[in-house]
Amino acid sequence: MSRSALRRSAAGTVALAALLVGAGCTDNTDDASAPAGSASAGKPTFTITGAGDTCSLSTTTLPGGQVSVTIVNNGSTANEFEILTENKLQIVAEKENIGPGVTTVLTTALEKGTYYTACKPNMVGALKGVQKLTVTAGSGAAVSSDTKALEQKAITNYTAYVKDQVGQLLTQTAAFTKAYTSGDTAKAKELYPVARGHYERIEPTAEAFGIKEAGDLDAALDLRVQDVAADAGKKVTDPSVLKSWTGWHRIEADLFTADGSAFKFASAADRKAAADQLNKDTQSLYNLVYGKIDGASGKFKLKLTDVVTGASSLLEEIATSKIVGEEETFSHTDLPDFKANLEGAQVAYGNVQALVKKSDADLDAEVTQSFKDLETLLKKYEDGKDSMGNVKYVDYSTIAAVQKDAGEAPKDSAYTKAQRELSDEVNVSSEALSKVPGKILH
């Protein structure tokens, strides 16, 4: 995630301040203490209070339109900030993996209505500090017909892309689980990053929607054991943690660890059960996206905000977890994930590019160049092709200090030269994309 604040303030932008903490919230400092260049510097100071597991916003009412939320984590653990719909079942906007001591900014657009804000320590478990947020009618600034047409085209095209990726995810997951349960380990290992790529390209969408509650499909499909253990307050190898863990990474742990590992399944029946559950949850995601079933908030439907924030969220996925090998902690297939996240961000941005060009051609050039530079850097780590003709990448642990077998993540100071280079390039792209919402959301 980009750790620097937006440097511009659009007319009509409302600045909010949210204090996210691991164990609880504390009072915010006054405006004079805000770092130079931060979203809160030079702007009104909002009082933030809280106790225990609560986190609160400085205001409960604001006018509709573009909103910039300054998020400050003074706690000791990573946290997540969410804005949810009135029924608290769909995420409208979010910032994940906000590390201790980090200040970041979330820019989005909110229509008139009732919302709720909350934080989620360690990105798992129940919402904390749930607070009602009322959005009143905005300024009603006129939007030209050609701009409206471009916005609708962006939504239509990106929705089609999400459907396409979910469709491919469904068939590729079936192929992967067939190889896995049949004992064809070599084929399953080859298919693992290929199938996952379809999910990685659209992950923010899966996080925003759910069947019973926001994000439940993402949790079922893509939750890491580190998160399950943190929420339970137990070790990653605790039997109860492993029993409750489902999805891609549960199978990854069995597939890519040696016999005798605590992460291995005890039987073929256990492997089949995990594979069946993965296929079932993937089918649910497909049914939701294709309108075969209603989600927690009704029919699946994307807004312009989903397209705009989808691009930046995908790059933040790399910056906040993948860079330390936290995502693929057993297979070390992080580089294919990097590539898939980049591809998804390029598609999402491509759908709003005309709008950005219209507003700020220099920013468009900046984003486009950052994509090219990151592509060039990733190309250095290509390692031939697999039997299906897909590009392979080197094992991430061979070029980076990583989190192995869900162990402790390396500190910034332990990064290898290659890892630092990747981190810096991802942050450049993430920073450029963080400016996009402020240009086109209204």
Residue 174 lies in a domain: yes
* Domains contained in the chain, number: 2
Residue 231 lies in a domain: yes
**Measuring CA to CA, which residue among 423, 439, 227 is closest to residue 354?**
439
Looking at the structure, do residues 263 and 397 belong to the same domain, yes or no? yes
Q: What is the predicted pLDDT for the residue at 57? A: 80
Looking at the structure, do residues 255 and 350 belong to the same domain, yes or no? yes
Looking at the structure, do residues 102 and 151 belong to the same domain, yes or no? no
Is the Cα torsion angle 87, 68, 158, 204 positive or negative in sign? negative
Query: Considering 100, 115, 136, which residue would you say is the last residue of a domain?
Result: 136
- CB 110 within 8 Å of CB 135: yes
Residue 275 lies in a domain: yes
Looking at the structure, do residues 111 and 251 belong to the same domain, yes or no? no
Looking at the structure, do residues 112 and 181 belong to the same domain, yes or no? no
- CATH at 359: 1.20.1420.20
Looking at the structure, do residues 227 and 296 belong to the same domain, yes or no? yes
Structure-token match 């590539």, residue found: 339
Residue 4 lies in a domain: no
- CATH at 65: 2.60.40.420
Exposure string for 355-378, b = 16+ CB within 10 A, e = fewer: bbbeebeebbebbbebbeebeebb
Looking at the structure, do residues 222 and 328 belong to the same domain, yes or no? yes
Residue 5 lies in a domain: no
Looking at the structure, do residues 181 and 89 belong to the same domain, yes or no? no
The CA-atom distances, in angstroms, between 114 and each of 19, 64, 70, 91, 240 are 21, 11, 20, 13, 38
User: How confident is the prediction along the chain (442 residues), in pLDDT tens digits per residue?
Assistant: 322 222 222 222 333 333 333 333 332 333 333 333 333 332 222 222 343 366 778 888 888 777 778 888 877 777 788 888 887 867 777 877 777 778 887 777 777 889 998 887 766 667 888 889 898 876 555 678 899 999 999 999 999 999 999 999 999 999 999 999 999 999 999 999 999 999 999 998 878 888 998 789 999 999 999 989 988 999 999 999 999 999 999 999 999 999 999 999 999 999 999 999 999 999 999 999 999 999 988 999 999 989 988 888 888 878 877 899 999 999 999 999 999 999 999 999 999 999 999 999 999 999 999 999 999 999 999 999 999 999 999 999 999 999 999 999 999 899 999 999 999 999 999 889 988 988 888 7
pTM exceeding the 0.85 threshold for the entire prediction: no
Looking at the structure, do residues 416 and 320 belong to the same domain, yes or no? yes
Reduced 3-state DSSP string for the chain: CCCCCCCCCCCCCEEEEEEECCCCCCCCCCHHHCCCCCCCCCCCCCCCCCCCCCCCECCCEEECEEEEEEEEECCCCCEEEEEECCCCCCEEEEEEEECCCCEEEEEEEECCEEEEEEECHHHCCCCEEEEEEEEECCCCCCCCHHHHHHHHHHHHHHHHHHHHHHHHHHHHHHHHHHHHHHCCHHHHHHHHHHHHHHHHCCHHHHHHCCCCCCCHHHHHHHCCHHHHHHHHCCCCCCHHHHHHCCCHHHHHHHHCCCCCCCCCCCCHHHHHHHHHHHHHHHHHHHHHHCCCCCECCECCCCCHHHHHHHHHHHHHHHHHCHHHCCCCCCCCCHHHHHHHHHHHHHHHHHHHHHHHHHHCHHHHHHHHHHHHHHHHHHHCCEEEECCCCCEEECCHHHCCCCCCCCCCCCCHHHCCHHHHHHHHHHHHHHHHHHCHHHHHCC
Residue 8 lies in a domain: no
**Measuring CA to CA, which residue among 115, 151, 149, 148 is closest to residue 303?**
151
Q: What is the predicted pLDDT for the residue at 53? A: 60
10 Å Cβ neighbour count for 130?
Answer: 16
Structure-token match 């993937």, residue found: 282
d(CA 284, CA 169) in angstroms, rounded, equals 12
Residue 431 lies in a domain: yes
d(CA 169, CA 16) in angstroms, rounded, equals 38
Query: Considering 82, 104, 136, which residue would you say is the last residue of a domain?
Result: 136
Looking at the structure, do residues 228 and 330 belong to the same domain, yes or no? yes
Q: Let me know the angle formed at the C-alpha of 366 by 393 and 72, rounded to the nearest 5 degrees.
A: 85
Looking at the structure, do residues 241 and 288 belong to the same domain, yes or no? yes
Phi, psi of 441 (to 5 degrees): -80, 145
Q: What is the predicted pLDDT for the residue at 47? A: 25
Q: 276 lies in which domain range?
A: 146-437
Looking at the structure, do residues 308 and 373 belong to the same domain, yes or no? yes
Residue 216 lies in a domain: yes
Query: Considering 136, 158, 175, which residue would you say is the last residue of a domain?
Result: 136
**Measuring CA to CA, which residue among 377, 439, 427, 314 is closest to residue 2?**
427
